[in-house]
Structure 1
């Protein structure tokens, strides 16, 4: 979703965060290359910068999402299963504070909606009936693999706060936080949990640090977990757990560009430190 005349685009982090190359398609089929300039996987949000803005492209107005209430009608536009510019409508069915409904995205405030959300909708806008954007589509919860009325959308105020108002950065990492049970099964050090690295984007700060992505996806305790890569245990001494994600984010944001920081990882059974630089 284009949000500014100078080519800023908001989308879902899981769509672009660890991609080596990104292109954005506009109405009419024109494509433009883009790069990630800010990202917050803990809220499933990323901000892109286009190489150029196509002639005639218009940015979407961003609303104040705080007044939105349960029962308000909404519209979602996306590309479910590749069917571009498809529209669905529905209602706001619930509102969830950060770190309540979806523990792997503890920084996101979510709208729950009855509007249909399927594969391909992620990263698209949710509009109020006045045409203003009130959220960025994240995901749906489904047992069948289709839409079952449990669609979740990150509020636009969350997006503005994390991507526009606060200093943000892009690591180029994709992965997931381990549960306590998974940490035990993987023989992490006592009292430790961590962030399992799945993918490291080419040319990213994470690649420059030498972090390693997974080599396989395995079933661990009934969940699909990336294995074979690094497990991040701590950043600057702060444990890599949901309760510390905001602290880690704020700590790195407080450091001047170019400042070093330390990441502690578990690699092939050994605990070691790697060093990166704040972008």
Structure 2
């Protein structure tokens, strides 16, 4: 089986308006869905239509972040948005909308620690582009960070059997009180389609990583290189970061980082090739994930006008790159 990341958007942030929850048994699922469906909008990024909840800010899937991000509440009027923070380790990014579309009902970001395995939940998304689709299931399990998907080691995952397909990623998972308790991330499947193993980033982890810490956005999708893979690529050190994607109008683009051009399969992994491989940043050599955490901490303190530095391996040559944060 393999993990399949369902490209999409994640969740809302911003000023969240709470309401008194009603017992789900008394009102049934239909009224709860009708109440929260007004919080689901469409985000267009890289030409894809993606569903999210909405507020003054929007948390989106990290891989879809770039320039030309637009948000629509009714499928017609588009609102521009810009990235203000991102966390590749959980595949999350935070967008700030130029304005809040009319008629939007901000959703409640619930406490995912309170939901129990065996409780009924539901997901609202756009499987195969069919927007505002409801699927229902149960919370199947809870997984600590760095135990399920190596590409997102910071994410705490909630597992569900609610149907998740291409286009669901980024859609909210709700409890029966209509509170957001998770953000659809990926599935594990042999066939490529849904087989009952869906995973969502918990709302508490999204709140902690995006709203409380507010990480710095470089505009890069990183791919970790270590162990035998580093040896196969003849790297001068045992750990480095390959630049997979660089968003337009991002700090990384301003510095001059080059993204990969092709993807090769090595050791069962899809490895981005042909772009820069970062050996050090902000004066800190990359030796392991701990050193990357130190670099990210430095980035979190950057302000407009501060200098960013990288040492990269490009076409067999080690180069130093410098630039200013805009």
TM-score normalised to structure 2 length: 0.78
Structure 1's consecutive aligned runs of 4 or more residues displaced over 4 angstroms after TM superposition are: none
Deviation per CA, 1:130-155: give whole Å up to 9, x if none. 00111111111222111112211111
Count of matched residue positions in the alignment of Structure 1 and Structure 2: 276
Contact 1:195 1:241 in 2 (8 A): no
The residue aligned with 2:258 is 212
In the alignment, is residue 141 of structure 1 matched against residue 182 of structure 2? no
The residue aligned with 1:234 is 280
Contact 1:76 1:89 in 2 (8 A): yes
SS in 2 for 1:194: strand
- Could you tell me how far apart the structure 2 residues matched to 1:156 and 1:163 are? 10
Between Structure 1 and Structure 2, whose CA radius of gyration is higher? 2
The residue aligned with 1:102 is 149
Contact 2:13 2:211 in 1 (8 A): no
Among 267, 271, 289, the alignment partner of 1:225 is: 271
What does 1:258-273 correspond to in 2, within 5 Å? 258-273=305-320
Change (3 A) 1:141 1:179: farther
Change (3 A) 1:243 1:152: farther
The residue aligned with 2:33 is none
In the alignment, is residue 10 of structure 1 matched against residue 59 of structure 2? yes
- Could you tell me how far apart the structure 2 residues matched to 1:70 and 1:136 are? 17
Deviation per CA, 1:208-236: give whole Å up to 9, x if none. 11000111122223322211000112223
- Could you tell me how far apart the structure 2 residues matched to 1:274 and 1:176 are? 19
SS in 1 for 2:113: coil
Deviation per CA, 1:14-67: give whole Å up to 9, x if none. 2x22x2211223245433221211110111111111122121111111112122
- Could you tell me how far apart the structure 2 residues matched to 1:244 and 1:104 are? 17
SS in 2 for 1:206: helix
- Could you tell me how far apart the structure 1 residues matched to 2:86 and 2:230 are? 26
Deviation per CA, 1:121-178: give whole Å up to 9, x if none. 1111111110011111111122211111221111111111111111322111124212
